[in-house]
Amino acid sequence: MKVLLIGNGGREHAIAWKLTQSPRLKQLFIAPGNPGTAQCGTNAQIPVDDIDRLVAFAKDQRIDLAVIGPEDPLAAGIVDAFEAAGIKAFGPSGAAAQIEADKAFSKQIMRASSIPTAESRLFDNFEDAKAYIASRDEPVVIKATGLAKGKGVFVCDDPSDGILAAERILCEKIFGAAGAKILVEDKLLGQEVSILAFVDGRNIYVMESAQDHKPIGDNDTGDNTGGMGAYSPAPIVTDKLMDQIVREILVPTVDGLNRYGTPYRGVLYAGLMMTQGGPRVLEYNARFGDPETQPILMRLKSDLLEVLLAVCDGRLDEITLEWDPRPAVCVVMASQGYPGKYEKGKPITGIEQADQLPGVKVFHAGTDRIDGRVATSGGRVLGVTALGTTIAEAKANAYEAVGMIRYDGACFRRDIADKAIQNL
């Protein structure tokens, strides 16, 4: 089987690494990939948003399955384009991917299906938004409804900050068309968890739980990032809670999308707040999470390629997922300055040595090969991931590996997985 994987982050290196373990894989291309994915297959220098070229490449190479990592091409309808060309593709249609790309649409689905989420109001006009926010005493969350690279959400404890955020999005248009509308949402309190499920249009197969670490600083301080680390499983998600999440959130979401005429296939990712009143949806993603995928796939024992094919063919009910019971922890190593401005091109040493530690895998994200050497090329550089018999041991193993990797301006959180350790 010939597979084309689209993307170039840590998530895609983890997917590529896992796909290479499948006896059914004959050839793997990654577009555009990174130096990590180059160890798993052949990188093809085509950007993720050049849908025409990606489809033409897949036709040329007689690709059997395209697997799409990031949200932008999904929302732009890349799966529809592959299918129109007669190529199987893993991921939702452009219409179904709006569950991530349009937060107003996802609220509509949630409302229609009584899915627990924060109360919210939608505005496309600053004066109305301002009057509404000013009329409230409680903290508010202001969200651009479109795709904003994970930066479109402002949690404002003071309503005056909420008004400022609304002004920046609606009047200054800091997110362009992605911020033509905003949601003003109640702030929810609790721990966040990421629940990812395979969905084939009808059947839902939930993966092991995970928790992300969005803020840049230890103890969840500072600006939000794409994610500074993750672990799986999240001990806060007991079996009973997982049943409740599937029953009250995942099943009605998939049913709601079907009723709306946009059946969902691919990975459905529910970002949840575990509030005192139970789990509430913060957002959906239409894809594997990054960095959650790194620890989740380290723990998956089943053949990922078989699972992806079963999703595409609508026969997820024939599949059983087997998991390594050992927890996994992923520590993201970033560039100094991220999520703001940062320098690139810093040579990295120690990846091979770290990779040789038992139970450790170093996933590349923002790396590049310059003059034959691996160097930094992005904000999130590496996802150092480790298994352990306990979550504390997985954490220790991951940080031991982190300690072996060096580059100028390396930054990382030192408290990844502490919440899980406290929850045990």
User: Nearest distance from residue 104's CB to ligand AMP, in Å?
Assistant: 12
User: How far apart are the C-alpha atoms of 38 and 35, rounded to whole Å?
Assistant: 5
Task: State in angstroms the smallest separation of the CB of 406 from ligand AMP.
Answer: 31
**Interface mask (CB under 6 A) for ligand GLY, residues 146-175, using x and -?**
----x-------------------------
Which DSSP symbol is given to 41? S
Nearer to ligand AMP, 189 or 239 (CB): 189
For ligand AMP, the closer CB: 11 or 346? 11
Alpha carbon of residue 246 to chain centroid: 19
Nearest residue (CB) to ligand AMP, 81 versus 170: 170
Q: Which does 192 bind (CB under 5 to 8 A by kind): ligand AMP, ligand GLY, none?
A: ligand AMP
CA distances from 248 to 113, 187, 221, 251, 268 (A): 9, 20, 31, 7, 15
Q: Tell me how far, at minimum, the Cβ of 194 lies from ligand GLY, in Å.
A: 7
Q: Candidates 105-113, 289-297, 306-314, 356-364 — which segment interacts with ligand GLY by CB under 6 A?
A: 289-297
Secondary structure letter of residue 249 according to DSSP: I
CA proximity to 74, closest of 56, 96, 52, 55: 96
Q: How far apart are CA 110 and CA 324, in angstroms?
A: 33
Q: How far is the CB of 363 from ligand AMP (least distance, A)?
A: 21
Binding site for ligand AMP (CB under 6 A): 118, 141, 143, 153, 155, 185, 187-188, 192, 214, 271, 282-283
End-to-end CA distance of the chain: 42
3-state secondary structure of 83: helix
| 289: contact with ligand GLY by CB under 6 A | yes
- DSSP 8-state secondary structure symbol assigned to residue 356: T
Q: Site for ligand GLY (CB under 6 A): which residue of 34, 285, 377, 385?
A: 285
Q: Which of 208, 248, 292, 303 lies at the binding interface for ligand GLY (CB under 6 A)? A: 292
DSSP 342: -
Nearer CB in complex with ligand GLY: 80/292: 292
Residues 210-249 that bind ligand GLY (CB under 6 A): 212, 227
**Judged by CB, which is closer to ligand GLY: 150, or 222?**
150
User: Which stretches does DSSP call E strand in 46-100?
Assistant: 65-68, 88-90
What's the token pair of residue 416?
């990844």
Task: Tell me how crowded residue 185 is: count the other CB atoms within 10 A of its CB.
Answer: 21
CA distance 142 to 11: 28
Segment lying near ligand GLY (by CB under 6 A), choices 169-177, 179-187, 282-290, 359-367: 282-290
Least distance between ligand GLY and beta carbon 15 (Å): 13
Q: How far is CA 175 from CA 71, 143, 146, 151, 172, in A?
A: 16, 11, 8, 9, 9
Q: What b/e string do you get for 367-402 counting C-beta neighbours within 10 Å, with b at 16 or more?
A: bbeeeeebbbbbbbbbbbbbbbeebbbbbebbbebb
Torsion angles phi and psi, residue 192, rounded to 5? -90, 145
How many residues lie near ligand GLY (CB under 6 A)?
A: 7
Q: Which stretch binds ligand GLY (CB under 6 A): 49-57, 101-109, 287-295, 301-309?
A: 287-295
Q: Kindly indicate which of the ranges 286-294, 305-313, 327-335, 339-347 contains the residues binding ligand GLY, using the contact rule CB under 6 A.
A: 286-294
12 binds, among ligand GLY, ligand AMP, none (CB under 5 to 8 A by kind): none
| Residues lying near ligand GLY in the complex (CB under 6 A) | 150, 212, 227, 285, 289-290, 292
